[in-house]
Amino acid sequence: MSTLPTPENFNWPLAYEAEALLSRHLHAFLAQNSFAARLAQRMHDETGTEFFEWTDHLVLSPEQEQEFHAVGFRPEATDVPDGHRALAHPHAMLPRVLVDTRAAASAFPRSLAVRPEYLADFMSRHGLRGEIAGRPCARLRVLTVNEENGARLQAVERLGYRGFTGQEPAPGFADAVLRVRELWRTRKRDFDHDDDGAREAFAVLEKALAHVGRDVACELFFAEERDYWMFRNRAGRVQKRRQDQLGLGWANHDHHTFRCSRRYFPDLVTFMEQLGLEKRERFYAGAEAGWGAQVMESATVGIVVFADVDLLPGEVNEDYAAKRLPDMPAVRTVGLWCGLHGDSFLQAGMHHLEARFNHGVLREQLAEQGIGTMKPFSDFPFLKQAFTEGERWRVDPRRVAALQANNLITPAQAEGFRQDGAIGSHLENLERKGGFKGFNQKAVSAIIAATDPRAVQAGHAH
């Protein structure tokens, strides 16, 4: 049984009233704390992101609790300090609220916490002093940045943990975390036979789970997958460097997209389930589109996966993530990408990382860095999405030969891939409003078609 708080049929609502209420309290806080206000401006100007997206939680007094209930927030069962209650919107992607039942009435949040990826980086980039509450590798670490006019700014670092109470790591746990980081980083991905690659992934997973447990293993796995993707994607490296100038890291990640061959799709889904991700909505856009996707989420860790696969029309009504799919006589966009580069799960790494930005501002800022952005494939008030121009990768001639031998590409296409390579990865510029958690199926179909390696190659040739 799913533990995810999901609406019926995954019909994610637009929580504009809740977003507006949070924004009002956030701006009231910024008016009191000049360090936070400067940080918010620098986030916008230097990284193309907004302070709202980096906010982990706000601490409010009890008289403000009812107005949050009125816009959809509900009590959350999680670890909280004595005298506090946690509130979260169960169907929206929004910062959470801690109610301090002993606090005096206040016109602004008495405390607000931002969440960078690593506190040491955040401290270094801002010249901060002070003691971090929580030893290295604790599940929750907290730094008080400053307090001004009664408004305390904090920064938190999380390690596979959603609660609000710090617990010191058990003896040997920090060593175990370092060991698991190494296990994920040194995982062999490329074998002569991909069956061996899948077995190796599960063997490493078993060790990781034994060392640190599910949620920490999950956190560390996706941190490594982001690094692996980033080393092969210039746009990702440039944007990461910009965010690192403020000590933020990739804590604004939205979802991680894995392209998968039909053969290994159930392996990928099972692997994610063992990391604690649960199945959310499935997509299938009709026979003409030829693709499907399984969305998965770990609410505890804050990880979302969008897993793409080629599909046949008759498979739409099945749980296509639950069984091994037979080979197709032809490959569509996802299958060809995997044929050229390998599965995201194995050799290729992620097709793209999506993070939350100010969509228009980031487009302009990346253009100044020589990075172009494609036409948006979602352009709604509540959801804007666009890929950076794709990173072209060299293609192993053996992969091209195998595709041609199976009549999956033409001789001319094969020669083009050998000479010019093929688009491998992107950074996705995503902006959400109203706390919208979902995706637009029609828009995803359009971008999958637009990134078909054959179509991109034809355009490149001209």
Q: Are 217 and 225 in contact (CB under 8 A)?
A: no
Query: What's the CA gap between 243 and 25, in Å, rounded?
Result: 25
In a 10 Å sphere around its CB, with 0-12 CB exposed, 13-18 middle and 19+ buried, how is residue 436 labelled?
buried
Q: Distance of CA 403 to CAs 408, 409, 455, Å?
A: 5, 6, 16
Task: Mark whether 246 and 332 lie in a shared domain.
Answer: yes
Whether residue 182 lies inside any domain: the answer is no
Tell me what pLDDT residue 328 has: 85
Q: Are 157 and 114 in contact (CB under 8 A)?
A: no
Tell me what pLDDT residue 454 has: 65
State pLDDT tens for residues 112-133. 999 999 999 999 999 999 999 9
43: pLDDT strictly greater than 90? yes
Nearest alpha carbon to residue 46 among 262, 247, 302, 309:
247
Q: Average the pLDDT over each of 53-57, 71-75, 295-299, 330-334 and give the range with the smallest value.
A: 330-334
Task: Mark whether 137 and 263 lie in a shared domain.
Answer: no
Q: Average the pLDDT over each of 2-6, 26-30, 229-233, 308-312 and give the range with the smallest value.
A: 2-6
281 or 109, higher pLDDT = 109
229: pLDDT strictly greater than 80? yes
CATH of the domain at 310: 3.10.180.10
Whether residue 3 lies inside any domain: the answer is no
State pLDDT tens for residues 207-216. 999 999 999 9
**Mean pLDDT of the 327-331 span:** 87
Instruction: For residue 209, give the amino acid letter.
Output: L
Using DSSP, how many helices (H) and how many strands (E) does the chain show? 16, 16
Domain boundary among 110, 125, 158: 158
Q: What is the pTM assigned to this prediction?
A: 0.94
Whether residue 179 lies inside any domain: the answer is no
Whether residue 217 lies inside any domain: the answer is no
Cα angle 343-9-446, degrees, rounded to a multiple of 5? 45
Whether residue 219 lies inside any domain: the answer is no
In a 10 Å sphere around its CB, with 0-12 CB exposed, 13-18 middle and 19+ buried, how is residue 439 labelled?
buried
Task: Mark whether 152 and 30 lie in a shared domain.
Answer: yes
230: pLDDT strictly greater than 90? yes
Task: Mark whether 12 and 135 lie in a shared domain.
Answer: yes
Task: Mark whether 22 and 130 lie in a shared domain.
Answer: yes
Whether residue 163 lies inside any domain: the answer is no
Strands, DSSP E only, in 31-139? Answer: 55-60, 74-75, 84-88, 96-100, 111-114
Strand partners, 455: none
Tell me what pLDDT residue 451 has: 61
**Mean pLDDT of the 351-380 span:** 97
CATH of the domain at 74: 3.10.180.50
Task: Mark whether 149 and 239 lie in a shared domain.
Answer: no
pLDDT band of 4, cuts 50, 70, 90: low
Cα angle 342-348-350, degrees, rounded to a multiple of 5? 125
Tell me what pLDDT residue 1 has: 40
Query: What's the CA gap between 135 and 159, in Å, rounded?
Result: 12
**Mean pLDDT of the 338-360 span:** 98
Q: Which domain holds residue 61?
A: 8-158
Tell me what pLDDT residue 323 has: 77
Whether residue 77 lies inside any domain: the answer is yes
Domain count, the chain: 2
461: pLDDT strictly greater than 60? no
Query: What's the CA gap between 446 and 138, in Å, rounded?
Result: 43
Tell me what pLDDT residue 282 has: 87
pLDDT band of 452, cuts 50, 70, 90: low
**DSSP 3-state assignment of 144?**
strand
412: pLDDT strictly greater than 80? yes
Task: Mark whether 368 and 260 lie in a shared domain.
Answer: yes
Domain boundary among 158, 175, 209: 158
What ranges in 97-248 are assigned the alpha helix state H?
Answer: 119-126, 173-185, 194-212, 214-230, 234-244
Task: Mark whether 292 and 387 lie in a shared domain.
Answer: yes
Average pLDDT of the chain? 93
Query: What's the CA gap between 132 and 150, in Å, rounded?
Result: 20
Strand partners, 98: 59, 86
Strand partners, 431: 384
Task: Mark whether 238 and 372 lie in a shared domain.
Answer: yes
225: pLDDT strictly greater than 80? yes
Q: Average the pLDDT over each of 34-43, 85-94, 165-174, 277-286 and give the range with the smallest value.
A: 277-286
Q: Other CB atoms closer than 10 Å to residue 427's CB: what's the count?
A: 30
204: pLDDT strictly greater than 70? yes
Tell me what pLDDT residue 287 has: 54
pLDDT band of 6, cuts 50, 70, 90: confident
**Mean pLDDT of the 426-434 span:** 98
Q: Average the pLDDT over each of 72-86, 247-261, 321-335 and give the range with the smallest value.
A: 321-335
Domain boundary among 158, 175, 193: 158
Which structure tokens are listed for 35?
């360090």
Task: Mark whether 131 and 271 lie in a shared domain.
Answer: no
State pLDDT tens for residues 145-201. 999 999 999 999 999 999 999 889 999 999 999 999 999 999 999 999 999 999 999
**Mean pLDDT of the 394-417 span:** 96
Whether residue 228 lies inside any domain: the answer is no
Q: Distance of CA 94 to CAs 173, 280, 437, 438, Å?
A: 31, 18, 9, 13
Query: What's the CA gap between 92 and 433, in Å, rounded?
Result: 10
376: pLDDT strictly greater than 80? yes
**Mean pLDDT of the 228-252 span:** 98
Task: Mark whether 142 and 263 lie in a shared domain.
Answer: no
Task: Mark whether 238 and 153 lie in a shared domain.
Answer: no
H or E segment and range at residue 68: helix 65-70
**Mean pLDDT of the 3-23 span:** 86
Tell me what pLDDT residue 65 has: 97
Query: What's the CA gap between 374 and 406, in Å, rounded?
Result: 32
Q: Are 177 and 137 in contact (CB under 8 A)?
A: yes
